Each structure stands twice: as C-alpha cells, then as structure tokens.
Structure 1
C-alpha cells in the first residue's frame, strides 16, 4: 500500500478529505493517505512541501504560485475550491480602529512571510491606495491563537483570516471585524511535489477522483450543516451562509486564472517574474 502525505488547514473547506479517510475510501484504493493539519496555513505548508514532510497540499492559490516561482518544485494539479476566500479584516475589539483606512501604516499580524495573511495584506493595501513600502508593517504570529494574543497585547494591530473561521472569536468579543476582502480568484488548489508527481501520477489521479466524488455531492450530504457546525464550533446559521457561498471544483486551474494571479502578484512586487502556465500546472 502506497503511503502519501497530504497537508491542509483544519477548516471546514477540507471536511471532504476527512470524510473520505473516515470511510476508508483511500485504503480501498490501496492508498494510505495520511492527513496533516497545518494550523500555520499556506506558508507552513509551502515549507512542508519543500522539506518533503508532505507530498501534496490543499493550499491557497496565490501562496503556492508565489512559492513555486521562488523555487518550490511543485505543480498545481487541480482547483479544490472554486469560489473566493472571504478574508475578514479584524482588530482587537477594544481598539480605536473603526475603518480600514485607520489601519494605514499600522502593523498586520501574519502567520508567516509568504502566507495568505501576508500576501492579502498587500492586496488590501493596493485596493486602498496605500504606499506598499511605508504603509505596510508585519508581525509574525504563526497561527490564529497567536493572532488573538498579538492583537490583545497590542504587538500587532490587525489580522486577516477567513471570516467564518474567525467569526466565533468576533462573537465572543475578542476581535471586531471592520471589513471583508474576497480573493479575486479561486481560493484553494491542490499542489503536488514535482518529483513525487512524476513517479506517482496514477495514485494522485485516484486520490483526486475520490475527493472529487465527495465534493461534487458535498452539499447533499444529510445534515452536513450540523456536522460542520459541531466539528468546527460554528453557529449553524453561519455554516449555512458559508455553504451557500462556497463551490468546490473538480477541474484544473485555467490559463486565465494563472495569468490573473501572476499579474496581481507581479504588480505588487511579490514575484520577480511571470512563468508559463505549463511550468506551474500539470494536467493529469
């Protein structure tokens, strides 16, 4: 049985993987798929792929494109979530910040450099006409718990993270959300280490087929909203709203999307050059 290590954030987007593992669907296909939770998000997964700790990852589109261009030998093999990620822009509930403009020149909490929270801070700054050199400052906080500590103690001023996963913290009165920023592209893709992909294409295809069977029928699973609410400690109405806004994909990323992400990252000086589609993507 082939052992394959995969990483992802411990969030509701990835419940389809858990269900397939729970039902032993991968083992039935003679694959020992081992899931690893990455609380630190995309930056931590990029490191995991580079170090060989994982063979594949469910990872933010903009983050993995940046890291592949920076030397991470991976290929995108599929879009996992077609819809945008809605980033909530959060401050400490007791802070004096009321608007996004109030955050100009303050310090953003980020999980690590190269993470989604880091890259989207640039997108937010550009959208608001800030000076990317002078008006952006960063404090590395590793994960959501670190963000709570950082904003509460004042070592950072704002934090961008998926709005539904942070909503319980907002509801408790720890964070206050002062804005939202949807990604202008599909939010999650599946990426595989290139050396691993070359030798294991058939197994990767099988894994994709299994998870795609789950995601294509995900919203029809009986009481899926209650399952998500219980597992991820969410309010049922928030889960129902999230489900209404979220669409999974069973297709690979388009040339147009790759071009759009690279155009944005290049304009922000996050990547030094733009690559050809086939250097970033593998169609299985």
Structure 2
C-alpha cells in the first residue's frame, strides 16, 4: 500500500522511518504474504464448532487469499494447542480461552479472528447410566466424557461442577473426541455424562440417550451459564508470529470472515453440499437439526467482543486457582485489527 506519501513532507526522514516501523502491520495489510504455506491445527474439525473453518476451506477462500493451508485434525482443542506450542502448527482453530490460560503460564498467544460467538457446548447425563439424575451433585464420582482433557468442553464441565462444590478431582474425565467415538462411548456405558459439541449432542438428545443439563448453543443459554457473551472458536497464534507476519494474518482473517459472510445466508442444503459426507455421521436429518440449534452461535463478522474476553477471564478464574485475574492483560490475548479490515472488505 502506498498511502505513506501523503504525509511524507511533514516528517524528517528519521521520524518517517520510526513512524513506518510502528505502522508496518497497517501499511502492509494487503501486501505480499510473509508465509503462504500455513499449518493449521484443530481439535474436532467435523463439529459445528469449527464449521466456518471447513466452509472457508471447502469454498477455496484460503486459496483466494494466496494461502496454502494444511489442516491437521486432533481429538480435542488441548491437543491442537500442543501442536502450536510444539512448533508443528502455525495457527490453531480453537477456543479463545486458551489465550488466557497460556498467558497465566507466561506464554503469549493471540486471537485474530472469531468464528464462534457462543461456545455451542452442551452437557448432558446418560439416561441409561443415570436415570434418576436430579442435580449436579449427583455427578460426584462419575465418569464424564469430554472431547479431550484440558479442552474447552472440559473447562465448561469444570465451571458447572465448581458451582455445585464439585472439584475436577471429584470426577473422572474421559477423552472421547467429537464424533462417532463420542456417541459410542456414551451409548455403551463407558461414561455417565458428557460435555461436548454438535452434531454429537443433538444426535444423543434426539435419540433420548442424554438429558441436557446445561446448554450454550444459543446466545441466551450462554448468557445464563457465563453471565455475559463468551467468545468461542477463533484463530489464535503466537504473538510473535502475529507481529512478524501481519499480511499472512490478514489473509487468514479474510478467509474466515469470507466464510462467515457466506454462512449468514446459507441454507441447510448449501451446508450439506459443502461439508464432507463423513461429517453427517450417517444421519443427514439429524445433522441439519444440529445446524439449526447452533446457527446462532456462529460469529457474524469475526470481531472479538471486549466484554466477551472479560466473561472468559471471569469464568476461568472462578474454578482455576492458577489463573489470577488481576495479572492477566486481556489486551494481549486478542486483536481486532485484522478482523476489522476483513469485515470492511466483505461487508460482513
């Protein structure tokens, strides 16, 4: 971009260099990609939690931005985060709250575009294993399925149980993934309850396998559970990567916001035509019923609400003593710089 010349006469060359260095990410927003081959880690790609990622991939929106993305699918968000920390992934498509968790461990990662404006996680108890369930206290000593230990499904279960005075150590968490394995784990009695995402939870609910006891698939349900808006799926990266690769980050944000824009008007048949057949878990009608339940949870324009970051911190600090709210700098956990430009570009 060549907008610098407007102010050139008003600066000494030294001041200009300083200003250019400070404004570099902004000035180079649509410039050459610093890195075009990008490794993305995700935990449970076939779930609706990550639908915007799949849509942007399937419709060629990453390619349109000059990106060659390789997406690796893991059993849950905690595993995807490990890939980023271990250096095998550049970007994670995962839950925003991991940025807070990592900062509490002095590791700085930053969210750059939002895909989910509600967690879309539901918790249910097995109607077979716990037919007489009455309150959360009944879960003490039980086996609870989560996508993967340490993932956002695990965090939500911890939050709910803590409100009933149940510590994480009072239950056994079992990683069951987010697809067919999760269905069979509950139906075969390997677990007593489950905190998971759709389409799995709707499939279990509609067949009468679970009784839903907490639900963040709607904005209203999210408000009831968290007391405010709760940002969910996003792209997060090492803060150093964001600083060093602003054009690449802009391209990533553009691709996702393009997908979000498409999703705003997409009908059920559009979704079915776009996602891989395996995502339907053998039941097209139930898959579409799940989509109807979580549609509201999908972000609209990629922007991360400031109030939502405060909600996330409050929720995590309420059950995790290692997170000291007063020591977390929320401004370092996210930036809306890239999403704002993408929103303008696609009129999202």
The equivalent of 1:227 in structure 2 is 273
Q: Which is strand-richer, 1 or 2?
A: 1
User: For the residues of structure 2 that align with 1:112 and 1:12, how far apart are their CA atoms?
Assistant: 16
Q: Which deviates the most, 66-75 or 45-54?
A: 66-75
**Higher Cα radius of gyration:** 2
Q: Deviations over 1:148-167 (max 9, x none)?
A: 55545655321110253333
Report deviation, 1:205.
Answer: 0.6
Q: Which is helix-richer, 1 or 2?
A: 2
The equivalent of 1:165 in structure 2 is 200
> Once superposed, what is the RMSD of the aligned Cα atoms?
3.0
1:83–1:227 distance in 2 versus 1, CA, 3 Å: farther
The count of corresponding residues between Structure 1 and Structure 2 is 280
Alignment of 1:251-266 (within 5 A): 251-266=302-317
1:139 aligns with 2:192: no
Report deviation, 1:44.
Answer: 1.1
1:197 aligns with 2:197: no
1:50–1:23 distance in 2 versus 1, CA, 3 Å: same
The equivalent of 2:335 in structure 1 is 282
User: For the residues of structure 1 that align with 2:294 and 2:212, how far apart are their CA atoms?
Assistant: 22
Report deviation, 1:47.
Answer: 0.7
TM (norm. structure 2) is 0.69
The equivalent of 1:214 in structure 2 is 259
Report deviation, 1:170.
Answer: 4.5
Q: Deviations over 1:174-221 (max 9, x none)?
A: x32342332431222221122322221111112211220221231323
Q: Which deviates the most, 13-22 or 208-217?
A: 13-22
Report deviation, 1:137.
Answer: 1.4
Which one of the candidate residues 22, 44, 48 is aligned to 2:58?
A: 22
SS at match of 1:160: strand
User: For the residues of structure 2 that align with 1:114 and 1:156, how far apart are their CA atoms?
Assistant: 17
User: For the residues of structure 2 that align with 1:180 and 1:164, how far apart are their CA atoms?
Assistant: 16
TM (norm. structure 1) is 0.83
Give the unaligned 5+ runs of structure 1. Answer: none
The equivalent of 1:43 in structure 2 is 78
